[in-house]
Amino acid sequence: MLLFWVVVIAMIVATLALILPALLKPSKTVTTDANAERRAIFRQQFYEIGQDKTNGILDAKQYELAKTELERRMLDEIGTNNVLTANSKPDRTLALILFIVLPLASLLIYYKIGSPAAINMPNAAQTIEEQSARAGDVEPLLAAMNAKLAQNPTDGKGWALLARTYVELGRASDAVPAYEKALKIIPNDAQLLADYADALAVSNGYNLAGKPTELVDQALKLDPHHVKSLLLAAAAATNRKDYKQAIIYWQNLQKELPADSDIAPKVKASLDEVYRLAGIKVPVASNAPTAPAAQGVSGMVKIAPALAANLDPAATVFVYARAAQGAAMPLAIERTTVKELPYTYQLDDSKGLMPANKLSQASEVIIVARISKTGDAKPQAGDLQGMSAAVKPNGGKVDIEINELLK
């Protein structure tokens, strides 16, 4: 807020500094050349036809004709020099009026049509435009990487780097074919297998069943201590309600994590939850106090009446939080269906996708609710969407109305 007003005052002072000296300067006679601007235009035109000749657009004959025509026009339009003389006198009354009125008028207009609240809360649409601009800056790099890989398709590390770049940009579905090509060249890399499984699950609506689980199993055969693979395997087993196997994976993951690991409390909470779901008493050693859960964001998701007609009740609804600044990857997500709308959501760290990217660590987030008619996690034309302004994930309530058709 303070910075905003400093900038406002500086702009007003700068404006007055430009205007007032001209009104207060002593009387003098000003002589100007009325044809100076026209001569500048003709100089530019002479330069341009010269460049056209140099670049081969005009041959020598065409150049001479164009030059002759410009010279004739210049003589007709300019002729002799015309001198304009004007008397400049100080206007102290007007200077005083502007000195008082300009700052007051600026403040009154701002409070009338401006948005003071926007100083502390960035507009969601502006944030999206900024992210789109940043994504546009990366496109030339992606094009260069694809071109290089087209010339050297056996560069497994290059394909892996391209895939991870797509993931960082939130384009998991584009990362999948790049991971496939990387694994054909580097088939026995546990990290690559886990990353591929993760991207494939995200592109399939955050579903680890099927091929993602097969890839994770393959990674664990190569490296039974691989942390990301254990995490994905534990989540997959929990999702398919294989609680016995999930307990084994969560326990193994706990053993691999250092005591001061950021994700250790979440892993422990997940293990305790699986014990509860399996109807097994939580071991005493696992009953130690855990870190309090992040408050997150909650609220109600509903659909605008104008868009509610003819919707498939089984269509997938994604509700997720993403950082207001930076990558668009969801920090926490829930999945439901149209028939459950209006739907009460609760997003916090327990709904996160990646332990390293926590909702509680974001200063501000945007809540998005989207009806995917195909069930695909990636936004597509025909989906229906609604989103919030940027909010802090501090336990507040934010209701979302799905009111936009994606095109």
Across the range 148-164, mean pLDDT stands at: 88
Asked whether the predicted pLDDT for residue 292 surpasses 50, the reply is no
pLDDT on residue 208: 87
CA distance 377 to 167: 13
- Does pLDDT of 159 surpass 50? yes
Beta bridge partners of 68: none
Angle between the 92-113 and 2-24 helix axes, to the nearest 10 degrees?
A: 150
Mean pLDDT, residues 72-86: 62
Q: How many Cα atoms occupy the beta-carbon half-sphere of 258 within 13 Å?
A: 3
In the predicted structure, residue 398 carries a pLDDT above the cut 90 = yes
The answer, yes or no, to whether residue 3 has pLDDT greater than 60, is yes
- The stretches of 114-152 forming alpha helices (DSSP H) are 124-151
Are residues 370 and 337 in contact, defined by beta-carbon separation less than 8 angstroms?
no
pLDDT tops 60 at residue 184: yes
Check pLDDT > 70 for residue 37: yes
- In the numeric block, the tokens 């395997």 are attached to 233
Q: Tell me, what's the pLDDT at 2? A: 63
Show the 3-state SS of 47-102.
HHHHHHHHCCCCCHHHHHHHHHHHHHHHHHHCCCCCEEEEEECCCHHHHHHHHHHH
The pLDDT score that the predictor gives to residue 295 is 73
What pLDDT does 47 receive?
A: 85
> Considering only CA atoms, which of 321, 325, 388 is closest in space to residue 358?
321
Residue 1, pLDDT above cutoff 60: no
Q: What is the DSSP string of 195-260?
A: HHHHHHHHHTTS--TTHHHHHHHHHHHH-TT-HHHHHHHHHHHHHTT-HHHHHHHHHHHHHHS-TT
- Measured distance CA(103)–CA(116) in Å, rounded: 17
In terms of DSSP bridges, do strands 296-303 and 394-397 run parallel, antiparallel, or are they unpaired? parallel
Q: Is pLDDT at 300 greater than 90 in this prediction?
A: yes
Q: How far apart are CA 202 and CA 380, in angstroms?
A: 15
Angle subtended by helix axes 227-239 and 243-256, to nearest 10: 160
- Tell me the per-residue pLDDT of 357-390, one tens digit each, with 9 for 90 and over: 788 888 899 999 999 988 877 788 888 999 999 9
Q: Which residues contact 283 (CB under 8 A, 6 or more apart)?
A: 275
- pTM for the predicted model, two decimal places: 0.42
Q: How far is CA 9 from the centre of its chain?
A: 32
**Which of the two residues, 28 and 205, has the higher pLDDT score?**
205
324: which residues sit within 8 A by CB, 6+ positions away? 122, 124, 127, 362, 363, 364, 365, 366, 390
Question: Tokens standing for 347?
Answer: 């997003």
Kindly state the average pLDDT of the residues 402-407. Answer: 89
On the question of pLDDT at 97 being above 60, the answer is yes
pLDDT digits (tens, 9 = 90+) for 118-155: 555 444 444 444 444 455 567 777 788 888 888 888 88
Of 335, 358, 327, give the one whose Cα is nearest residue 263.
358
DSSP element (H, E) containing 20: helix 2-24
Q: What is the Cα–Cα distance from 232 to 217, expressed in whole angstroms?
A: 10
